[in-house]
Amino acid sequence: MDAGGGRAGAADAARRQHGLLGRSQLLELGRSESALKRDVRAGRLERVHPQALRVAGAPWTWEQHVQAAVLGCGTGGYASHRSAARLWGVADDETVEVSVSRTRLPRLEGVTVHRSGDLDPRWCTTRDRIPVTNPLRTLVDLGAVTSHRVVGEAVERALVSGLVSVAALEWARAAHAGAGRRGVGVLGRILDRRALGSRPADSVLEARMASLLKRHGLPPPAFQHEVRAGRRLVARVDFAYPELLLALEVDGLASHGTADALQHDLQRQNALVGCGWTVLRFTWNDVVLRSAKVATAVEGVRRRLAAPLGA
């Protein structure tokens, strides 16, 4: 580029963006349309996409292709799906994919563009200086474009590296399910399979049960509620509707692994009943595989217990 206005700023931006510049960036830095055309004709800039230009001599990398696609979208484009998964280090596919708002559809050669009606900024961040969907949104989106096996491997890699937690994935699953986002079903089946393999942590149980009750229109229960008789702690129940004296207990696969454990649970349940509580118990398989039946059972007992109160 010539010595016109904005050269230093443009050079700094190019260093931050893998040797690339957005057309709108250059105009904001004081470059005119005619100056841009001269730079392209002279070989100082190379047009990658209508809105993205590459500084001549900058080495080509896969990251540069992704950055060019994002810049080519103009404002509000993000690396997503397989590109985002590769940027986060949870997949190896070199497909270049971006997401934009539903009102826009840029034409970018060699790039898969997804239009989204829920590309909220809370699901977006930067990685390697490239605007990108965050790991949670990426794992949801990945299920829409690749196989169950690839998504499963990406989930495991994200968990091992600490990018996400199972509880956070459960939350993302619930948040996107209401919007009907493609890919949620694949992620859900992967989480269901993982949950059935071992006793889930309390945070996962809370997220799954809260999601189940919300989906079926039930009010949220108290979590890890303490039941007391005077100052004495009788029991801490998984979920509760204290105003109805209704406890919901979720039993993982290993909850009755010994006779002592079974005896303890029976004594604990009898103590709750003795204090006037109704106790409903569900296995983790119930919650994962038979959620509608769980919701129906909870709602039926809630209605019966509320009736004497005039509810």
Query: Which helix (H) or strand (E) segment is 210 a member of?
Result: helix 202-215
Q: Which of 60, 82, 102 delimits the end of a domain? A: 60
Specify the CATH number for the domain of residue 266.
Answer: 3.40.960.10
Residue 1 lies in a domain: no
The predicted-structure confidence for 168-226, as pLDDT tens digits, reads as follows 998 899 888 866 678 899 998 888 877 655 545 555 666 778 778 888 999 988 888 99
Count how many domains the chain has: 3
Same domain, 258 and 231: yes
Residue 219 lies in a domain: yes
Terminal Cα distance for the chain, rounded: 75
Instruction: Report the range of poorest mean pLDDT among 26-35, 111-120, 138-147.
Output: 26-35
Q: Which of 228, 66, 35 is nearest to 132 (CA)?
A: 66
How far apart (Å, rounded) are the C-alpha atoms in residues 70 and 113?
A: 10
For residue 79, the one-letter residue type is: A
Same domain, 189 and 258: no
Same domain, 214 and 188: no
How far apart (Å, rounded) are the C-alpha atoms in residues 150 and 162?
A: 18
Residue 2 lies in a domain: no
Same domain, 144 and 82: yes
* pLDDT at residue 253 greater than cutoff 70: no
CA angle 281, 196, 93 (to 5 degrees): 145
The CA R_g of the chain, rounded to the nearest whole Å, is 27
The reported pTM is: 0.63
Residue 40 lies in a domain: yes
For residue 144, the enclosing domain spans 64-194
Q: Which of 132, 160, 194 delimits the end of a domain? A: 194
Same domain, 100 and 183: yes
Same domain, 78 and 31: no
What are the counts of helices (DSSP H) followed by strands (DSSP E) for the chain? 13, 12
The predicted-structure confidence for 120-136, as pLDDT tens digits, reads as follows 889 999 999 999 999 99
Same domain, 189 and 70: yes
Same domain, 50 and 94: no
Q: How many CB atoms lie within 10 A of CB 244?
A: 18
Instruction: Report the range of poorest mean pLDDT among 5-14, 56-65, 137-146.
Output: 5-14
**Do 148 and 130 meet the contact criterion of CB atoms below 8 Å apart?**
no
Instruction: Report the range of poorest mean pLDDT among 95-99, 139-143, 267-271.
Output: 267-271
Q: Which of 15, 40, 60 delimits the end of a domain? A: 60
**pLDDT band, very low/low/confident/very high, at 257 (cuts 50, 70, 90):** low
3-state secondary structure of 127: strand
